[in-house]
Structure formats: structure tokens, C-alpha cells
Structure 1
Amino acid sequence: MFEDDDDQLGKSHEEIEKMPLYKKGWHIMELADKIAELVTDEEYSDLGESELGMLKSQTEFLCADAMLICPKIAGAEGGDLYGIRMENAAIIRKAAREVMTGCTGLKMWGFKQTEYLELLRNEVEEFRVLFAE
């Protein structure tokens, strides 16, 4: 019943890493991480402690949402089971939407380098097109 049969498995890890959708998800994660690194105490010394805390929390949420994308793509492609693919597709779609919402939250909490947020939004939009295909 639970035999290891490599012929029935989905794509290998190497194949998944070469997928354009996976690469775009990885790029979104890296960009979110770089945005989070920009929020330092020195750069945002003009904000109060509470506002800075909220800004940092927002970057953590942004990174967490961005980090969900690649593992869920790998899970969907690796198992090649319809139910898992559909479940992961819903999680991926929600995570990408939350990244977009996170950009708005960062702007609301006073993130100064808004050009990076636009860059991230553009990446998510490109991801959305790849995801739809």
C-alpha cells in the first residue's frame, strides 16, 4: 500500500528548481528579505518605538508569506497528487495576495524606500501570470 515507487513520484527537486514559477517565487522571497533588511533602528530613528515595532512586524509577516510560496510549489509538483496540488495552489495564491497586502502595510507604517515595494509588487504580478499558466 505504501511502497516506495519512484516511478509514481512527481518531479525531482532539481526539476522543480528549474521551473520558472519556482524561480519567480524564490526571487519574491529574496526581495522580501532584502526589504526587511532595510528596516533598521538607525534608518528609522525618527519613528517612535511603537511605530518602528509595527514596521518591523510587518516586514516579518511579509517575509513569512513570501517564504511559503516555494515550499508549496515544491510540494505540489513533487507529489503530483491532485488534492495536494489544489490545496497548495490555494495556499500559494493566498500567500502571494498577502505579500501584496504587506506592501501596502509597510507603506502605511512609514517604509521609506517605496520603490522597492513597487518592485516586489511587479514581481508578484509576474508570478501571478506564471501561476495562471
Structure 2
Amino acid sequence: MDNFDNDDEEDFGFNEEDFNSEESRREFQRENERVDNLPIMKKAREIFDIVDSLVELIDDDDAFIAHYRSMLFEDASIICAKIAGAEGGDLYSLRMENAVLIKIHARNLLAQTSGLKMLGFKDVRYLQVLRDAIEEFRLLFLAWVEGFDKTNDMSDNWGNLFR
């Protein structure tokens, strides 16, 4: 197996003379702002903030209920990350893969609110706040996915799962 050689003549189509780092930085910043200002991303961040507040109310005395902290944080974090991934990927199949994961993690959050209630979590009104935010998110999600461009795709040799 050949070792990677930094002195290799092949540049993979990258020409340093054509690269403007300041322009690239501005473009990167504009794209980050665009994604941050999407209604679905704003709602996802709101859900994360609700989860952040909710886990502060979880009592450490009950180890089983305390385990919900990490699950709630994980699901809320992944939703935000997958929205950014879907927006950055642009190809229909990549966007749909991220959308499926977003749906799974949002539904996990709903299931965890039911689990916490069943286990006797005292501040159930906060669970309803999270459930309401997830319902608002669901409606934004439906509109967001509807806007994906099905014609902007290419085969990845895994089949056409989303056609």
C-alpha cells in the first residue's frame, strides 16, 4: 500500500491562486446565518433550551429517572446537528436521510416525556411544554421536507429509498 506523499503532483482540482480565504469566510458565515435563521432550526434550538431547563429539574436521587438526562440531551442535540447536515448536504437523498434521523430523535423526545411521567417525574407541566414545542417543530418539519428538491440527487448505490 502506498503511503500518502505530500509532495504528490496531483492537486485534486484545487488551485491556491483561485482561492480567496476572506471571500470563503464570508460565504461560510452567510451560510451559517441562513441555516441558523431557518424556522425549523430556531424551533430545534428552542427544543434544546427546553430540554436544558427540563433536565435541571430531574432529581439525582432516582438513578433511573436521572438516566433520562443524557437521552434527552442526545436527542435534542442530534436534531440540531442533522438539520445543519441536511442543509449542508443539499442532495435529496442526503437531506432525506437526515430528515429520517430528525424524526426518530424528535419522536424519542416524545417517548421520553411519557416515560418520565410514568416514572413519577414531578414537574409534568414542563413535559407538556416540551411536547407542545415538538408539535410545533413537527409542522415546520413537514413544510421543510416538502421543500427538498427531488431532482437534485445522485445515486449512492444504496437504492432509491426516497423516490
Question: What TM-score do you get using the length of structure 2 for normalisation?
Answer: 0.68
Pairing 1:83–2:93 present: yes
Please point out which of 127, 143, 151 is paired with 1:117: 127
Poorly superposed stretches of 4+, deviation over 2 Å: 2-6
The structure whose Rg is larger is: 2
* Match among 37, 43, 51 for residue 32 of structure 1: 51
Q: CA deviation at 1:3?
A: 5.3
Q: Counterparts of 1:11-22 in structure 2 under 5 Å?
A: 12-22=31-41
The aligned amino acid for 2:113 is C
Task: Tell me if the contact between 1:69 and 1:95 (Cα under 8 Å) persists in the aligned partners.
Answer: yes
**Change in CA separation of 1:12 and 1:112 when aligned onto 2, cut-off 3 Å:** same
Task: Report the residue type matching 2:56 in the other structure.
Answer: E
Q: How does 1:85-100 map to 2 (within 5 A)?
A: 85-100=95-110
Deviations 1:45-89 (A, max 9, x none): xxxx5xx10101012211211111111000001121112101000
CA RMSD after TM alignment = 2.2
Match of 1:73 in 2: 83
Kindly indicate whether the alpha-carbon contact (under 8 Å) linking 1:13 and 1:78 is maintained by their aligned counterparts in 2. no
Q: Which runs of 5+ in 2 are unaligned?
A: 1-11, 144-163
Aligned residues: 121
8 A Cα contact 1:76 1:84, kept in partner: yes
**Superimposed CA distance per residue, residues 83-132 of structure 1 (whole angstroms, 9 cap, x where no aligned partner):** 21010000000000000001011111221010000000000000000000
Q: Name the structure 1 match of 2:69.
A: 59
TM-score (norm 1): 0.83
Amino acid at match of 2:32: H
The percentage of aligned residue pairs carrying the same residue is 43
| Kept after mapping to 2: 8 A contact 1:59/1:106 | no
The structure whose residues are more often helix, as a share, is 1
Letter in 2 for 1:92: I
- Quote the residue 1:45 is aligned against: none
Whole-angstrom CA distance in 1 between matches of 2:140 and 2:39: 8
Equivalent pair of 2:59/2:65 in contact (CA under 8 Å): no
